[in-house]
Amino acid sequence: MRFPAILRANEAGEGDQNGPLPEGQRVGFAVVAMGRLSVEQILPAFAHSRKAKLAALVSGFPEKLHVLGRQYGLGADRLFGYEAFEKLASVDDVRVVYIVLPNSMHKEFVLRSAAIGKHVLCEKPMATNSQDAGTMITACKSENLKLMIAYRCRYQPHHRELIRRVQSHEFGPVKLVEAVNAQNQGDPNQWRLRKALSGGGSLPDIGLYGLNAARATLGEEPVEIQAQLSSTPNDPRFREVEESVVWTMRFPSGALAALSTSYGTHRGSRMAVHMDEASLILDHAFPYHGQRLSLVRARDGLETETIIDVPANDQFALEIDHMADCVLNDRAPDTPGEEGLRDMQLMADVYQAAQSGTRLQL
């Protein structure tokens, strides 16, 4: 179905006329763990999806299953405790398991998913260490199942436009990349601040976004890393995990990156890519919404800054739809397990560089 344009041809596009897939053709997902992220973001995102549907819930809290099952129209036969996870095997229209558990539990459930023949979408960071990440990849590979890591920003339209423009080389080579992602963590008792559960502090939870975005934007892997950590002494939030990290990386092209993250400051989230002839700036780079892309350059002898109004969508819906599309068309995700493993290794390198105080050659 195509409608003629209402506006003149020189105006911006008028909207997307692609309808959603009918329910019956969509890929069913089981979501595992009903914490804040699932309830506030992921479950609602299925309504914005075009190719995926919510088909089952897994939680350790029967009351949550009851309430959410009612809200989302899922009967008792689609609600499972952790111990009954394997019963998903026989829910035919569940083709993907979306794992939203604390990081330390990712491995167990990826392995259990693989064992019952389900594809996996796993939240980032992929695991709490590279060894687990490798095990997870092998488990899915050996069953010929897809494993995608939920790097939602990689499916976000502003990020994709940024990457497209940088890699078009229309502004010459990249020389510097800056990225920061920071927020002010509250409750000292949340699992993100327990190292055994999270694997680390600000770095794997939010600093990871800048790391991944820098690699994706440059389309290169870093060859050198240096890092420094800091935690406020006696702050009960940072007994086990780091508060702040600053780190720098060199890439084969000669590009340098300066990145930072913190669990102890007001929200800050931005990425800047400085090229020969222009800079691309992504403000509000990594939150769930509010991305703003601007292009800074000189034109006709005058400095200009152009905000490019990229149409946005629910980030989780885009990510889920990418996974659904991979299943429907049997193709590899843009952010497979190997991408998650690469970041796990690099984060281990960041920690090692910080501890040793020396530059790591990769």
Residues numbered 294 to 333 that lie near its own copies (CB under 8 A) are 296-299, 301-312
Closest distance of CB 312 from its own copies, Å: 8
Is 11 one of the binding residues for its own copies (CB under 8 A)?
Answer: yes
List Cα–Cα distances, 104 to 70, 337, 359, in angstroms.
29, 16, 29
**Contacting its own copies (CB under 8 A), which of 135, 248, 338, 348?**
248
Q: Using CB under 8 A, which of the segments 101-109, 142-150, 175-183, 324-332 binds its own copies?
A: 175-183
Region class of 182: left (phi > 0), else alpha (psi between -120 and 50), else beta: beta
Is 20 one of the binding residues for its own copies (CB under 8 A)?
Answer: yes
List Cα–Cα distances, 238 to 32, 39, 158, 267, in angstroms.
28, 27, 33, 18
Q: Is 124 a catalytic residue?
A: yes
Closer of 23 and 92 to its own copies (Cβ): 23
Is 76 one of the binding residues for its own copies (CB under 8 A)?
Answer: no
Is 75 one of the binding residues for its own copies (CB under 8 A)?
Answer: no
**Contacting its own copies (CB under 8 A), which of 97, 162, 182, 203?**
182
Point out which residues pair with 264 in neighbouring strands.
184
Q: Which of residues 202-231 bind its own copies (CB under 8 A)?
A: 224, 226-228, 230-231
Catalytic residue among 53, 124, 155, 351: 124
Judge contact between 271 and 178, C-beta under 8 A: yes
Q: Is 51 a catalytic residue?
A: no
Closer of 147 and 281 to its own copies (Cβ): 281
Q: How far, in Å, CA of 253 to CA of 207, rounded?
A: 23
Number of residues that bind its own copies (CB under 8 A): 110
Closest distance of CB 215 from its own copies, Å: 16
Is 268 one of the binding residues for its own copies (CB under 8 A)?
Answer: yes
Q: Which of residues 38-57 bind its own copies (CB under 8 A)?
A: 39-41, 43-44, 47-48
Is 151 one of the binding residues for its own copies (CB under 8 A)?
Answer: no
Q: How far, in Å, CA of 78 to CA of 94, rounded?
A: 9
Q: Using CB under 8 A, which of the segments 147-155, 263-271, 326-334, 342-350 binds its own copies?
A: 263-271
Closer of 217 and 262 to its own copies (Cβ): 262
Is 232 one of the binding residues for its own copies (CB under 8 A)?
Answer: yes
**Contacting its own copies (CB under 8 A), which of 17, 90, 142, 144?**
17
- In 3D, which of 294, 291, 295, 227 has the Cα closest to residue 257? 227
**Cα distance between the two ends of the chain:** 52
Q: How far, in Å, CA of 290 to CA of 59, rounded?
A: 31
Longest C-alpha distance within the chain, in Å? 67
Is 250 one of the binding residues for its own copies (CB under 8 A)?
Answer: yes
Residue type (1 letter), 195:
K
**Contacting its own copies (CB under 8 A), which of 52, 166, 214, 278?**
278
Is 173 one of the binding residues for its own copies (CB under 8 A)?
Answer: yes
What angle separates helix 337-356 from helix 208-218, to the nearest 10 degrees? 110
**Strand pairing report for 292-299 and 360-361:** unpaired
Closer of 331 and 359 to its own copies (Cβ): 359
Judge contact between 296 and 278, C-beta under 8 A: yes
Closest distance of CB 131 from its own copies, Å: 27
- In 3D, which of 356, 361, 342 has the Cα closest to residue 227? 356
- In 3D, which of 197, 181, 179 has the Cα closest to residue 189? 197
**Contacting its own copies (CB under 8 A), which of 290, 331, 352, 362?**
290
The residues annotated with a catalytic role in the active site are 124, 209
